[in-house]
Structure 1
Amino acid sequence: MEKKVFLLPFASVILLLHYWVTCLTLAVSLTNLSDEYALLALKAHITYDSQGILATNWSSTTSYCNWFGVSCNAHHGRLTALNLSNMGLEGTIPPQVSNLSFLASLDLSDNYFHASLPNEIGNCRQLRQLYFFNNELTGSIPQSLGNLSKLEESYLDSNHLTGDIPEEMSNLLSLKILSLFVNNLTGSIPSGIFNISSLQSISLSANDLYGNLPMDMCDRIPNLNGLYLSYNQLSGQIPTSLHNCAKLQLISLSYNEFIGSIPKGIGNLSELEVLYLGQKHLTGEIPEALFNISSLRIFDLPSNNLSGTLPSSMCCNLPSLEVISLSWNQLKGKIPSSLSHCQELRTLSLSFNQFTGSIPLGIGNLSKLEELYLGINNLTEYGSEGIVSTSDVYSNGIMLLEVFARKKPTDEMFVGDPTLKSWVESLASTVMEFVDTNLLDKEDEHFAIKENCVLCIMALALECTAESPEDRINMRDVVARLKKIRIKLLM
């Protein structure tokens, strides 16, 4: 039996094709309109545009793909990246942003966006980069961020975010960078965060986080190259597995509640450049292997109970070392003469220890040395081996600033500007802004007398630390002034 073939008239085929094209065009047009509407909603939520760019450039008279800060895919015309960073924008982030379904990169950093992040942002399933740092965002981190399975970089630092870090963020298995420092976050770090094997940098400093770090942390995230956890309330021991993070370049754990000794394995981190472990509770000796890491630039371990001696060859293998900060410990023995090999050294802080002997002559050959703190040890006369006595004056001036402000020149807040000296100088007339609250209390009946004594001591400290050695007060006058202040306090 012969098969019958039914053929549509040619005109019908053309009509059908026209219908399909019309439908597809309409669908594309509607989806593209959703991108435009989302952008216009964002524009409507911006209350101040310091440069006036959005007001003049974001207009429906032109394609949104040509708008400032907008990038579109050339194939389907959908918005894939939005960059409005550092434009002085004020406003809030509307929930309509979630309609940008092809959005891969969102950068609103360095602006003045406030209020909470919309929970709907978790619907932007294509997001790989999220930059909201340096804004004024408040509220908690949306749990929906855990839905962004493709997210690789999350920068929410330098805002006013509160609450816990959501457990759902443990689902971000593509995450490489987690940056939440300088917020008001509380609670513990979700344990699942340490199961994200792709993580390369964790930045959670300056929050109010507590709890312990898992001892096998670096067995789970071996690609970590930056660990920023300073200024929290973390406790327990420093993970012994740190040596398994072979790519670590920076470790910042200062000002927490860690106890125990420094893991010896840290000395095996051949790429380590910066080590911040300043706090109050670490004990034991400094692993000698640390002094063999040729890439080390900053070696900052003040305010602990570290003991033992420094190796005589400590600077022989550290050609890049710029900062040695070991003040306020229990170190003893002689100051190594090998310090002369650290030709890049800018800061040498060994005050408040138990060092004995004389100051190595080679320290005078460190041409880049800017800060030298050797006070409160058992060292012989500074001038006996070529170090002029003005260093003693300077060192004691800095010591006074350290004691009364309860801060160290190498604290992270003094990296760059201001320095400890300029910070105290700027607050010299408002003593309660910088003085250790354990030393001075406004409720004290003798507050006025004590305040005046502190102001006199700070003025003396600033005279000791004048830029030019010729402008510094001599040590005899320092002692005389301190005696007078003491008499005034006891009257």
Structure 2
Amino acid sequence: MEKTRFLFSIAVLVVHYHMTCTAKTLINITTDQSALFALKANIKSDPHDILAKNWSAATSVCDWAGVKCGARHQRVRALNISNMALQGTIPPHLGNLSFLVSLDISGNRFSGHLPKELVNLRRLKLMNLKSNNFNGGLPSWLIALSQLEHLLLANNGFTGSIPSTIFNISSLQNIDFSMNSLSGNLPMDMCNHLPKLERLNLSFSELNGQIPSTMHKCSGLQFLSLEMSRFTGPIPPEICNLTMLKELFLGVNYLKGEIPREIGNLHSLEKLNMVQNHFTGLIPSSFSNITSLKQLNLGNNSLTGGIPKEIGDLKLEQLLLHFNYLTGPIPAAIFNISTLRTQFSLLNNHLSGNLPSNIGHSLPNLQRLILQENNLTGVIPHSISNASNLITLALSENMFTGSIPHSLGKLGRLKNLYLSENNLGSDSSSPELSFLTSLTNCRHLKNLWLGKNPLNGKFPISIGNFSTSLQYFEATSSGIKGNIPTGIGNLSNLVFLYLYENELTGLIPTTIKELGKLQRLYLDDNRIQGSIPLDLCHLLNLGELGLSGNGLFGPVPACLGNVTSLIYLFLDSNRLTSTIPATLWNLKNLLILSSSSNFLSGYLPSEIGSLKVATQIDLSMNQFTGNIPSTIGGLQDLTYFSLANNRLQGPIPDIFRSMVGLESLDLSHNNLSGVIPRSLETLRYLKYFNVSFNRLRGEIPTRGPFANFTNQSFMLNEALCGAP
């Protein structure tokens, strides 16, 4: 009997304990549910209806989307509602999720300040708020989250300095505050309490001051990025004691001084970026000690001396030394880095010497070779074709000689070829530019720049066989002769066509109309004949048209007024006749109109005032008659205006005073009469003024810009008097 009573008592206690625990669990899970409902209530936009449809009292919180509960206490342990395009704010109730270990709301549009109640998330190890619109200062209460391992606040609108207390959270392994507007200096003792820190990203900020010399105390660092900020001063040599560092990004700052030779101590380093600072001195040869290095970017600095040959011992995939003051030959060992893959750039230095004859054999994986703007000489080696992965070959602005090798046509992946401004020619055995025929095999070619070379040949008919991928074709100032082949019309994706300053003859081919995507066409300073073809009027995307300095004759096509995208129109120095068509004044976006040195005639229409955004108009050296229309006062953006050497009559309109930005006004060699309006004295930017060879009379204005003009501006008029 006693035994039965004892067992009954035990059973009652068990049931009571179970009921108590169940009630407590229900209370706690209700607390979690209330916190999440408060978050849901603060969501203003849920475009995918994820929370609207899923977070319901009809189901357990632990079954909600993005929610995970612990098996033991059935409390919310993880909340992941990242990348759901949610918009709203964080309620203070979220701080009641006291068992929360992981919080990830990244990739949304949450805004406002972080509520201080989040200080209660004492178990939190991951806080990922990246890519939202949070603002205000970083909260100092973060120090209370003593178990935090990952603090990711990147790409928000946080401002102010970083509270020094954050660097006292000794459990931190990953800090990412990049892409905010944080400012101020980093505390010198920031690494005194971060023994576990592996990643520190403070890039894209307004942080300034010097890099703390004690940074080496974060001895476990593997990733350090301070790029795109405002750090100044030298690189502290102590930073080179971070022997576990794999990636170091210091680019686009105001760092200066020499690169410390201790840099060679970073034996684990794989990526190093110091681009766009103010580093001076030599490139340390100790880089050769970093045998793990794959990417090295020292571009846009003021480094001098030669390239250390020891760098050739590395197994680099990317080497960028562009925009420095490096001199001497490129060490042969550099061209033997067969691992170079993504890019090798020495752009804009003072390097000299020849390219090795086996260059293509030793760089089989390279995609971009950029050596332009140096003093390199010799020929382009035929072996370059063995670098079969080349996408970009940039050799412009050097002193290369010889023929452009036909073997370039074997570069099947080539997209960008820059050979301009050298001393390159074509195969002398043919009057045609035969290398162009070989380049038609490059079916992915997009950019072809050949200008300012003594090519001295004719375009082959095969130019029409270029791939339709070609978008930019430049062959200016190269002594190119003959006609423009009709096959040019096959290049249907051409955007820019620059052929000015050559010896091209014949007509503009009618097939030009097939270039429907063309935005810039420059055929200036050739010997092209015939009339301006109506086919140009089909180029409805054309923004810039240069036909000056040819032998074109006949009228300006009225249909050019339909090419409303035109902003630059150069027709000067031809033999064009008749009047300027009225439709041309409909080009509302026209910035520059130059039709000087032709035989255009007729009155200047009042519609000239419709060119509201024009900055330069030159109608000089034609046969225009009549008065200057008063509507020119509407050309308030005009800086250059010339009507010189025409047959214009009547007075100088007083309305010129409205052209407040005018810097140059030439009305010389006409039959203008009357006085020079004193209102022109208000044109404070006017630097050049010429009304000589007219029939003007009266007193010359003396104030404003007229105080600086000489007799040359007023000579041979009828009765001008006074200064100068």
1:350 counterpart (341, 346, 353): 346
**Which residue of 329, 335, 348 corresponds with 1:334?**
329
RMSD: 3.5
Alpha-carbon distance change, 343 to 16 in structure 1, aligned in 2, over 3 angstroms: closer
User: Whose strand fraction is larger, Structure 1's or Structure 2's?
Assistant: 2
Closer, same or farther in 2 for the Cα pair 1:322/1:12, shift >3 Å?
closer
SS of 1:216's equivalent in the other structure is helix
How far, CA to CA, are the matches of 1:327 and 1:211 in structure 2? 26
Give the deviation of 1:372 after TM superposition: 2.5
Deviations along 1:42-100, one digit per CA (max 9) or x if unpaired, are 11111122221211211111211111111111011111111111112111111111001
Match of 1:93 in 2: 90
Seen in structure 2, the aligned counterparts of structure 1 residues 204 and 243 have a Cα distance that, compared at 3 Å, is same
1:76 aligns with 2:73: yes
Q: Distance in 2 between matches of 1:387 and 1:472?
A: 22
Query: Residue deviations 1:323-378, cap 9 Å, x none?
Result: 21111212112112222333333212112212111123343332333322222222
CA distance in 2, matches of 1:169, 1:141: 9
| Matched-pair contact (CA < 8 Å) for 1:214–1:239 | yes
TM-score computed with the length of structure 2 as normaliser: 0.53
Counterpart for residue 264 of structure 2? 267
Check 1:269–1:10 CA distance in 2 against 1; reply closer, same or farther (3 A cut).
closer
Distance 1:470 1:76, change over 3 A: closer
**Shift of the alpha carbon at 1:394?**
4.0
Opposite residue 32 of structure 2, the aligned amino acid is D
Q: Cα offset for 1:317?
A: 3.0
Q: Name the CA distance, whole Å, in 2 between partners of 1:162 and 1:315.
A: 44
CA separation in 1, counterparts of 2:354 and 2:162? 51
Equivalent residue number for residue 191 of structure 1: 188
Match of 2:455 in 1: none
Pick from 199, 203, 206: which aligns with 1:205?
203
Provide structure 1 residue ranges, at least 5 long, that are not aligned to the other structure: 1-7, 399-418, 422-460
After superposition, give the CA deviation of every residue in 1:15-67 in whole Å (9 maximum; x if it has no partner): 66655544443332212211111111111111122221211211111211111
Counterpart of 2:449 in structure 1 is: 464
Within 1, Cα distance between the matches of 2:167 and 2:111?
A: 26
| Residues 43/314 of structure 1: CA separation in 2 closer, same or farther (3 Å cut) | same
From 213, 234, 238, the equivalent of 1:237 is: 234
Unaligned runs of 5+ in 2: 399-414, 418-445, 451-465, 479-497, 502-521, 526-545, 550-569, 571-615, 617-639, 641-663, 665-724
Are the aligned partners of 2:251 and 2:277 in contact in 1 as well (CA < 8 Å)? no
Equivalent residue for 1:144? 141
Q: Kindly provide the CA deviation profile for residues 208-258 of structure 1, in whole angstroms up to 9, marking residues without a partner as x.
A: 00111222321x111000111001111121121223211111110011111
| Aligned equivalent of 1:298 | 295
Equivalent position SS for 1:331: strand
Letter in 1 for 2:323: W
Give distance in 1, aligned partners of 2:102 and 2:298.
39
- Structure 1 CA distance for aligned equivalents of residues 233 and 325 of structure 2: 21
Residues 17 and 470 (structure 1), Cα distance of their counterparts in 2 relative to 1, 3 Å cut: closer
Query: Whole-Å Cα distance in 1 between the matches of residues 7 and 322 of structure 2?
Result: 91
Deviation at 1:153, TM superposition (A): 0.4
What's the CA shift for 1:463? 5.6
Any idea what SS the aligned residue of 1:27 has? helix
SS in 1 for 2:269: coil
Residues 238/284 of structure 1: CA separation in 2 closer, same or farther (3 Å cut): same
In 1: Cα distance, 2:311 partner to 2:15 partner: 80
Q: Considering fraction of residues, name the structure with more helix.
A: 1
Q: 1:382: Cα distance to partner? A: 4.5
1:171, distance to aligned residue in structure 2 (A): 2.2
Aligned counterpart, 1:67: 64
Equivalent residue for 1:473?
Answer: 474
Query: 1:43 is aligned with what amino acid?
Result: K
Q: Equivalents in 1 of 2:160, 2:176: separation in Å? A: 16
Does the C-alpha gap of structure 1 residues 60 and 470 become closer, same or farther in structure 2, counting only changes over 3 Å? closer
CA gap 1:69/1:123 in 2 versus in 1, 3 angstroms: same
Query: How far apart in 2 are the matches of 1:43 and 1:326?
Result: 52
Select the residue among 111, 115, 125 that pairs with 2:112. 115
Q: Kindly, what percent of the aligned residue pairs are identical? A: 35
Look up the SS of the partner of 2:380 in the other structure.
Answer: helix
Task: From the superposition, tell whether residues 381 and 98 of structure 1 become closer, same or farther in structure 2 (CA, over 3 Å).
Answer: same
Q: What TM-score, normalized to structure 1?
A: 0.77
Aligned residue in 2 for 1:364:
360
Counterpart amino acid of 1:329? N
Query: Partner residue of 1:287?
Result: 284
> Separation in 2 of the partners of 1:165 and 1:298?
30
| Bigger shift: residues 19-28 or 68-77 | 19-28
* 1:380 counterpart = 2:365: no
Residue 215 of structure 1 is matched in structure 2 by 213
Give the 3 Å change call, closer, same or farther, for CA 167–471 of structure 1 in structure 2.
Answer: closer
Asked if the contact 1:216/1:240 (under 8 Å) is kept, the reply is no
Query: 1:179 Cα deviation (Å)?
Result: 0.2
Contact 1:359 1:385 in 2 (8 A): no
Q: How many angstroms does 1:310 deviate by?
A: 1.6
Instruction: Confirm or deny: 8 A CA contact 1:46 1:92 kept in the other structure.
Output: yes
- What is the deviation of 1:14? 6.2
Q: Give the SS at the match of 1:369.
A: coil
Question: Is the 8 Å Cα contact of residues 283 and 304 (structure 1) preserved in structure 2?
Answer: yes
The corresponding residue for 1:401 is none
